[in-house]
Amino acid sequence: MNEDKKINGNSKNEQLEYFRSADSEDKELTTNQGLKLTEDELSLTAGERGPTLIEDFHFREKMTHFDHERIPERVVHARGFAAHGEFQVYESMKNYTKAKFLQDPHVKTPVFVRFSTVVGSRGSMDTPRDVRGFATKFYTEEGNFDLVANNFPVFFIQDGMKFPDVVHAIKPEPHNEMPQASGAHDTFWDWVSQNQESAHMVMWLMSDRAIPRSYRMMEGFGVHTFRFINDEGNVHFVKFHWKPVLGTHSLVWDEAQKLGGKDPDYNRRDLWESINMGNYAEYELGVQILEEKDEFAFDFDILDSTKIWPEEDVPVRIIGKMTLNRNVDNVFAETEQVAFHVGNVVAGVDFTNDPLLQTRLFSYTDTQLLRLGGPNFHEIPINRPVCPFHNNQRDGFHRQTINKGQVSYRNNSLANNSPHTVDEKNGGFAHYQEKIDGRKIRARSKSFEDHFSQAKLFWNSMSHAEKQHIIDAFCFEVGKVQYKPIQQRVVDMFGHVDHELAAAIAQKLDVSIPPAHVQSKVTKASPALSQENTPKLAKTRKVAVIISNGFNSSDVKTTIEILQASGVQVAILSDKLGPIVADDNSKLSAKHTFDTDSSVIFDGLYIAGGAKADKMFEKKAKMFMQEAFDHYKPIGVSGEGEQWLNDIQLPSQTGVIINRHQPDHFSKQLIEALAAHRFWDRTIS
């Protein structure tokens, strides 16, 4: 194609603006052919009570469009939510890569990021136990670079040949389409127990990482080993990381399940509202870099996608920051139509022979051909590069460009329209010339054989609470399996990881405990794997301030002011919407009620009560308090709130803070408690 028409300026925003349709205020209603219409709500009939006529081209156009308004959902990662933003590198990465967007700290590269769950269908809930997709499209001046990442650093399988199998196993079972968005069923655990290479990934899946509190509080990992190549042609191995500025935080399982009903859009709402409020989602880009000579320096294979490079051994170097600062205008046009491809790279980034990566290179284009209906999906506004693109391709479904002239092939002497190739020195992409010498075989290297050491490393790195969550998750998921031999096989498999883990699950499932001597002998831990060691901030956390008529004005208002000054979001909650009258007759307006919201929506509670609270109010406030307590969340109380707290007699009181007319001190403690996020040392009865 020879794309001479400039779609607009070079920025992605300007480009999208070109395609954005204006609001229809004051416009004449027409058909898609431009015919002005006199009526749009009555179909054409033979008489007022007669049959509808096939002649009604307007009705048929409107209905045909509607009938075709869905496209196939993604076979995995169907449920997603996305936002626009920008990326800036902190310092030039010239020594390692020639990728232009990683050279100049002043350059802002537009990005589009789509977060997703993997298993559930497009209408499923946001908070199942699942891996999350974290796919970033960098619109660089040298073309699009897609970092199609997940929030776990490893994957289920080592070779993409098994991808259809693992996906078929974890998706709803085909005979009855159950369960939705869940691995808690026979086919998944049958598959796991027969594919020991999944052990490490399954540990992550059973951990708190699989139920993120927010897309803004989630790490991202490129998973595979890629290559960086600099101007001199020097090569390094590289792994990509996203580190959320707010730290990595999770829900608890009971909360995640309740949120599925109370607010199935919990994660997308969080991102949408945060961006609208100016609480932009921020992530730092990190790279682990290895010299080529160190390819074989580890006790695992760096081409194996079921392995991490422990951060303590290969430090993550932080090289830039991404800020998501703009919501989409139209979910279908942008989030649904965006087409990522792990093969969209720029000069300076290249692939390795990781067999998982190699197979992904086929799958992504293939899937878009079906989903987006043909080979021209790069012309859809969200997928267009911001730089010009020229080749002599034409035609095909949904072609937008009107290519002119007689010639549609390159190197012609007729039309003078042959785009010329570009050498490497001038930005042309040349594949890394890796020397390959081997037989054509279907086999896997012996260096991929150890499936349990890093699963054990992960286990060793968990805190006491995190380990308990993993045990609980196994008991839930495998407990739902109907076929007893599968449960035994799963327990036996994880007996090769850790005996304590396997024994705890075995007891709950009523299967045999595997022998202790089979467990992995690894004793090392990697502190970077535990969420206990993540940044902890109260900023953007959401607190329900629960008040009734007669609440103590000075306590509550000072507390709210201090919380808001530290970036905490405050939601006034009562038994009805509208003004709630304080003891000094001033008012606060409630925007939330016990009917509209639930404790699981909030990170913490401040229950101030009110002298005029009735029995029903008291009962509901106590229910909120008990549930938040059971979810290990911070709870602040004052006035009647303190009485109610005493009434419910909580077994231990860490993270419960009492305000006795010292709102300054109280607020400071509450902010610290919100930053701590959860109080795992509580005894939950």
Q: Which member of 12, 84, 100, 114 binds ligand HDE (CB under 6 A)?
A: 114
| Closest separation in Å from C-beta 424 to ligand HDE | 27
Helical spans, DSSP H, in 159-243: 163-170, 186-193, 199-205
Q: Which helix (H) or strand (E) holds 544?
A: strand 542-547
Residue 356 touches ligand HDE, criterion: CB under 6 A: yes
| Closest separation in Å from C-beta 564 to ligand HDE | 34
Beta-strand relationship, 281-291 and 235-244: antiparallel
Measured CA distances, 335 to 66, 260, 374, 379, 583 (Å) = 19, 21, 18, 15, 49
Q: Which member of 19, 59, 364, 389 binds ligand HDE (CB under 6 A)?
A: 364
Residue 223 touches ligand HDE, criterion: CB under 6 A: yes
Query: How many helices, marked H, and strands, marked E, lie in the chain?
Result: 16, 18
Q: Which member of 116, 144, 225, 569 binds ligand HDE (CB under 6 A)?
A: 116
Number of residues binding to ligand HDE, judged by CB under 6 A:
26
Residue with tokens 């709500």: 41
| Closest separation in Å from C-beta 359 to ligand HDE | 4
State the angle between helix axes of 253-262 and 464-479 in degrees (0 to 180), rounded to the nearest 10: 60
| Closest separation in Å from C-beta 350 to ligand HDE | 16
| From 142-150, 283-291, 469-477, 488-496, span contacting ligand HDE (CB under 6 A) | 142-150
* Cβ proximity to ligand HDE, 132 vs 469, nearer residue: 132
Binders in 456-485 for ligand HDE, by CB under 6 A: none
Q: What spatial distance separates the first Cα and last Cα of the chain, rounded to whole Å? A: 68
Beta-strand relationship, 569-574 and 592-593: parallel
The number of CA neighbours under 13 Å toward the Cβ of 545 is 24
| Closest separation in Å from C-beta 345 to ligand HDE | 14
Beta-strand relationship, 220-221 and 226-229: unpaired
Q: Is the dihedral of CA 336, 337, 341, 346 positive or negative?
A: negative
Residue 496 touches ligand HDE, criterion: CB under 6 A: no
* Cβ proximity to ligand HDE, 160 vs 495, nearer residue: 160
* Cβ proximity to ligand HDE, 167 vs 528, nearer residue: 167
* Cβ proximity to ligand HDE, 253 vs 351, nearer residue: 351
Q: Which member of 11, 180, 363, 654 binds ligand HDE (CB under 6 A)?
A: 363
Q: Which member of 171, 249, 307, 360 binds ligand HDE (CB under 6 A)?
A: 360
* Cβ proximity to ligand HDE, 150 vs 599, nearer residue: 150
Q: How far apart are CA 349 and CA 202, in angstroms?
A: 30
| Closest separation in Å from C-beta 364 to ligand HDE | 4
Residue 218 touches ligand HDE, criterion: CB under 6 A: no
Q: How far apart are CA 470 and CA 29, in angstroms?
A: 58
What is the contact mask toward ligand HDE in residues 301 to 330, using x (rule: CB under 6 A)? ----x-------------------------
Q: How far apart are CA 309 and CA 288, in angstroms?
A: 8
Residue 148 touches ligand HDE, criterion: CB under 6 A: yes
* Cβ proximity to ligand HDE, 155 vs 448, nearer residue: 155
Residue with tokens 């301030």: 545
C-beta of residue 344 within 8 angstroms of C-beta of residue 145: yes
Q: Which member of 191, 340, 617, 632 binds ligand HDE (CB under 6 A)?
A: 340
* Cβ proximity to ligand HDE, 305 vs 487, nearer residue: 305
Please provide the size of the chain in residues. Answer: 685
Residue 487 touches ligand HDE, criterion: CB under 6 A: no
Q: Give the residue among 683, 652, 655 at the shortest CA–CA distance from 669.
A: 655
| Closest separation in Å from C-beta 329 to ligand HDE | 18
* Cβ proximity to ligand HDE, 120 vs 133, nearer residue: 133
Beta-strand relationship, 235-244 and 132-140: unpaired
| Closest separation in Å from C-beta 649 to ligand HDE | 47
| From 17-25, 267-275, 317-325, 359-367, span contacting ligand HDE (CB under 6 A) | 359-367
Q: How far apart are CA 316 and CA 120, in angstroms?
A: 32
Binders in 64-103 for ligand HDE, by CB under 6 A: 74-77, 80
* Two tokens, residue 425: 């020195």
Q: How far apart are CA 575 and CA 613, in angstroms?
A: 9
Q: Which member of 99, 119, 149, 322 binds ligand HDE (CB under 6 A)?
A: 149
C-beta of residue 122 within 8 angstroms of C-beta of residue 78: yes
| Closest separation in Å from C-beta 243 to ligand HDE | 16
Residue 359 touches ligand HDE, criterion: CB under 6 A: yes
Residue 163 touches ligand HDE, criterion: CB under 6 A: yes
List active site positions.
Answer: 77, 150
User: What CA dihedral angle connects 234, 319, 349 and 226, to 10 degrees?
Assistant: 90
The Cβ of residue 365 has, within 10 Å, a number of other Cβ atoms equal to: 15
Residue 240 touches ligand HDE, criterion: CB under 6 A: no
Q: Give the residue among 108, 109, 118 at the shortest CA–CA distance from 145.
A: 109
Distance of CA 220 to the CA centre of its chain: 8
Q: Give the residue among 681, 257, 195, 175 at the shortest CA–CA distance from 451.
A: 195
* Cβ proximity to ligand HDE, 223 vs 543, nearer residue: 223
Q: Which residues bind ligand HDE (CB under 6 A)?
A: 74-77, 80, 114, 116, 133, 135, 148-150, 155, 160, 163, 222-223, 305, 338, 340, 356, 359-360, 363-364, 367
